[in-house]
Amino acid sequence: MLKNSFRNFANYELFILIGILMTIGTLIKLLGIKDFSSDWFWLLAGVGLIIEGSILLVKQRKFDKKYKIIEVCEK
């Protein structure tokens, strides 16, 4: 059980890190500590979306392999 929980956390570890970096960067800019281009924020957002999409794609493929879905066509 614990091993499975750790594996699930490890899958999302990079995604969580990107979110933390985006939050800290936004706070730094809002508090006026450092002013930097918003392009860096959008770069991190894009990387985060790529990571999330990759994780979801892998999980969907595992699900599809485990459960074969049969569609019934009505005539």
Q: What is the pLDDT of residue 64?
A: 84
Q: What is the pLDDT of residue 6?
A: 63
pLDDT (tens digit, 9 = 90+) per residue, 1-15? 556 666 666 667 887
pTM of the complete model = 0.66
Cα distance between residue 8 and residue 71, in whole Å = 30
Q: Helix, strand or coil for residue 68?
A: coil
Which sequence spans correspond to the domains of the chain?
2-66
pLDDT (tens digit, 9 = 90+) per residue, 25-75? 999 999 999 998 989 889 989 988 888 888 888 888 888 888 876 667 776
Confirm if 36 and 29 have CB atoms less than 8 A apart: yes
Confirm if 52 and 22 have CB atoms less than 8 A apart: no
Question: Could you identify the residue written with the tokens 């990387």?
Answer: 47
